[in-house]
Structure 1
């Protein structure tokens, strides 16, 4: 049966229905979202995420976990965090038949074409984007392996779905029982740097730090990661104010308008207040919704998604600021 695509120029938000809710692991539900009229959804690539507009007014980002060849559904996995700000709890209140508004998929965590081999490292609920990558690589006939680390079998979401690949040695489960001394030795595993091999990782803060340390000697451009929560910034003694710390001027390239941005103000909010439609979502430099090109100025990048090449051309307006007195934006 041929499906009519829901993709239309200019469409950024979709109204989908919760078709299925599945208990995947302890505290983790999977939500299958489909078009109410069963039309095909806008396509996505492995590593992509969607924004979900929740009934309590919050907007949260969740990675798509299913295969990109599935055009009829989006599947997300959500861990209920009792210490969170209410986003995951609101998702866990969704029931089959509920309508939800979501964004079209965006991807800041793309698979790199032409890799000789791909290593996927997942910690806890960070498995969701890597599971989608697993599907894509498997369907391409690519060389890959997924290592999934969590406390125990009861915490391993999607393990039943991955059982065949586990038996084939493509997916490896690592359980530490909550004892760091028994955790997967990522440092030893990533000791060698095979030519053309790329590493991808996602998980909670401690896992991310361990992967970063273990892959620190890998060549630039071959290590890729995505935070699902902004890392806690270390507390440091108050440093002397840098140039621009007390404010700067954002200049709009198309009109020449100059807009003051005071210390403590969000650049995104200032631009919105001035009538420039900068879209925001996560407000923490994780999703890339508010990414804007800049043409002149020095930037203190506070995001967790832009690579070194992008930082010379773009900034995330929700968290980044200028350290120069003037910042010229391509708006």
Structure 2
């Protein structure tokens, strides 16, 4: 865990602030690769995951950007209202679930709203390596377009394109036309809210799977799940032998914590993999966006999964 000082906060766009984080003694920070994020311990006891959006070779500060989400789970509101220049906050070292591929072919970068943050670091790295890329950044309005100034030269050069859709992604970038033709060697990277992500995934369904890379960001994906029985369900903790009851209003993670068992987590939306636990029997209903089909036969993300057939026995 790192304790960093907030050196500055910057208004980036309507509803979006960026936070520049530095070592209090001025030391270098741990290295990171484009697409990496840090887990930030925000006021109120919450932990939230934010992508690093400045160039990865910049070793003396981290920059994150936070969208104030009305009706969200409180993390963004706490960052906007209670974190100020001069404050000390705790963050994890960088982790990366969304890396650039090692190949040097053409890259198509797609960002929706606050999903621009990991894409920015990717763009900077691709430019430094002189790799071919194109960026398409979709926002509601110019006023809600963060970091537009950083893309000025690339916009002028025809490498970056801004699309404003008034809040309806269907009226902005034509995903189907953009992604209709797959060219060998091309890799696709995209990040944004649920509707945007679904549109890109649908439009790129014919691309080779190993060329399509994505990370959910911002609003929770709209994932259909079975309703938990009104009586809840049981989960068995193998190491202690305890059986705990999960109420319909709880996640498995919450019930495990209420039973006094510590379990690390971050996004609590099935997007990062921090709460991955091995299960030994029973059948979970997976609703995450991280685990592969092979991993799901052995592991479950307890922040978001349901119990399909119980009891679910966890290696805890």
TM superposition score normalised by structure 1: 0.82
Cα distance, 1:57–1:247 mapped onto 2, change above 3 Å: closer
CA distance in 1, matches of 2:4, 2:85: 11
**Which 10-residue stretch deviates more, 275-284 or 121-130?**
275-284
Counterpart residue number, 1:167: 156
Q: 1:100 aligns with which of 70, 89, 96?
A: 89
Within the candidate set 214, 238, 245, 1:251 is matched to 238
Distance in 2 of aligned mates of 1:269 and 1:82: 23
Alignment match, 1:17: 5
Question: 1:51 touches 1:62 (CA, 8 Å); kept in 2?
Answer: yes
Unaligned runs of 5+ in 2: none
Q: 1:278 to 1:87 in 2, by over 3 A?
A: closer
Aligned match of 1:51? 39
Cα distance in 2 for partners of 1:219, 1:130 equals 21
Q: Which of 286, 295, 299 in structure 1 is aligned with 2:271?
A: 286
The match for 1:132 is: 121
- The structural deviation recorded for 1:313 is 4.2
User: What's the counterpart of residue 230 of structure 1?
Assistant: 220
Aligned-residue offset at 1:98: 1.6
- The corresponding residue for 1:114 is 103
Confirm whether residue 319 of structure 1 aligns to residue 304 of structure 2. Answer: yes
Moved more, 268-277 or 111-120: 268-277
- Equivalence for 1:155: 144
- SS in structure 1 of the partner of residue 155 of structure 2: helix
1:38 to 1:205, Cα distance in 2 relative to 1, 3 A: same
Distance 1:330 1:143 in 2: 46
Deviation at 1:178?
A: 4.3
Number of residues paired by the alignment?
Answer: 310
Distance in 1 separating the partners of 2:309 and 2:173: 44
Secondary structure of 2:119's counterpart equals helix
Task: Please report the RMSD computed on the Cα atoms of aligned residues, expressed in angstroms.
Answer: 2.7
**CA separation in 2, counterparts of 1:188 and 1:66?**
30
Match of 1:202 in 2: 191
1:89 is matched with: 77
- Mean Cα displacement is larger for which, 90-99 or 296-305? 296-305
Alignment TM-score, normalising by the size of structure 2: 0.86
